[in-house]
């Protein structure tokens, strides 16, 4: 897990970043602060891997705070002012998030940070061992067993996959969609979009070129994969 702290003098902005960290499976929130001075005291006795730091803060701004650290953790800057972007990269920031920050932009920056941290630590991508009933995924220093029957669908997110399960929270894995396809039986799983693999056994409704999971989850069927999926429907259609 990547240990994080968040620093922002605006309580609502700090709460948002903290909530994003907590919902991202490979991040863990160690602490949060409304001033850089508070964070300095914490860092004297605690090690973290990544900091989300607002630039515009009283007393000590985020840029000067990072420059003051002898061996700073990786940093992602947050601010409402775009003119700080170039200066942010001069201190080797992983990324720069412009407020208001959406979760998709936050996740992209977090993935960048994880990739950089893994490269420096010499870590490898996710290892997978499988049979026709379950997968063992080695990730985040743990070995996770995933029963294939529990998978609803798999979502591609750049270098990562988000494995959505029937009852548990999603699991993030560092691997490609193509590689995951190789571990899954084509009798039960099918890629219907460049970003989605679905468990055919979990499909109950198909509507307007979309697979409906629950009430608010719609998986698009792209033109590239539509003929194969249509054949599956035709082969199993009762006239």
- Domain final residue pick, 121, 138, 164: 121
212 and 132 within one domain: yes
The answer to whether residues 113 and 135 belong to one domain is no
Backbone angles phi, psi at 51, to 5 degrees: -125, 135
The confidence score (pLDDT) of residue 178 equals 86
- Which range of residues forms the domain containing residue 7? 2-121
Domain C-terminal end among 121, 146, 162: 121
Contact 54/7 with Cβ under 8 angstroms? yes
* Tally of domains within the chain: 2
Q: Which of 101, 56, 92 is nearest to 73 (CA)?
A: 92
Whether residue 6 sits in one domain with residue 111: yes
Please give the pLDDT value at position 160: 76
Q: Are residues 156 and 199 in the same domain?
A: yes
Residues 144, 89 within the same domain: no
Residue 101 and residue 177 share a domain: no
CATH assignment of the domain containing 131? 2.40.50.1020
Q: Kindly state whether residues 136 and 89 are assigned to the same domain.
A: no
Rounded distance between C-alpha atoms, residue 118 and residue 127, angstroms = 14
> How deeply is 180 buried, as exposed, middle or buried, from its count of CB atoms within 10 A (0-12, 13-18, 19+)?
buried
**Those residues with Cβ within 8 angstroms of residue 19's Cβ, 6 or more apart along the chain or in another chain:** none
Gap between the Cα atoms of 191 and 171, Å rounded: 18
Contact 25, 171 (CB under 8 A): yes
The pairs formed by 222-226 with CB atoms below 8 angstroms and a separation of 24 or more are 222/192, 222/193, 222/194, 224/194, 225/190, 225/191, 225/192, 225/193, 226/192
The two three-digit tokens of residue 84, written as one number: 């700080």
Query: Do residues 95 and 185 share a domain?
Result: no
Residues 144 and 223 in one domain: yes
Residues 106, 186: one domain?
no
- Are residues 103 and 182 both part of a single domain? no
Q: Which of 121, 140, 160 is the last residue of a domain?
A: 121
**pLDDT tens across the length of the chain (239 residues):** 899 999 999 999 999 999 999 999 899 999 999 999 999 989 988 889 999 999 988 888 898 999 888 778 999 999 887 665 445 445 678 998 999 999 999 999 999 998 888 766 544 455 666 677 888 886 656 778 899 999 999 998 766 788 999 888 888 887 788 888 888 988 999 999 988 999 999 998 999 889 998 777 899 999 989 999 999 999 887 65
Residue 25's Cα: distance from chain center in Å?
7
- pTM value? 0.54
Q: Give yes or no: residues 228 and 173 share one domain.
A: yes
């Amino acid at each position: 897990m990547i240990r994080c702290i968040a620093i922002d003098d605006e309580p609502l902005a700090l709460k948002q970043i903290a909530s994003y960290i907590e919902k991202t499976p490979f991040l863990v929130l160690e602490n949060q602060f409304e001033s850089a001075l508070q964070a300095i005291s914490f860092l004297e006795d605690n090690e973290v891997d990544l900091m989300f730091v607002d630039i515009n803060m009283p007393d000590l701004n985020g840029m000067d705070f990072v420059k003051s650290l002898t061996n700073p953790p990786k940093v992602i800057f947050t601010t409402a002012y775009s003119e700080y972007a170039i200066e942010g990269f001069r201190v080797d920031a992983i990324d720069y998030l412009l407020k208001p920050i959406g979760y998709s932009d936050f996740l992209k920056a977090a993935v960048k940070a994880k990739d950089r941290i893994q490269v420096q630590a010499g870590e490898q991508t996710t290892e997978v061992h499988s049979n026709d009933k379950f997968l063992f995924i080695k990730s985040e220093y743990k070995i996770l067993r995933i029963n294939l029957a529990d998978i609803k669908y798999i979502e591609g997110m750049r270098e990562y996959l988000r494995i959505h399960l029937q009852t548990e929270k999603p699991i993030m894995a560092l691997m490609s969609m193509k590689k995951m396809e190789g571990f899954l039986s084509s009798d039960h799983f099918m890629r219907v979009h460049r970003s989605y693999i679905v468990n055919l056994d979990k499909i109950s409704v198909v509507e307007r070129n979309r697979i409906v999971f629950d009430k608010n989850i719609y998986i698009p069927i792209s033109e590239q994969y539509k003929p194969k999926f249509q054949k599956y429907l035709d082969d199993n259609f009762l006239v």
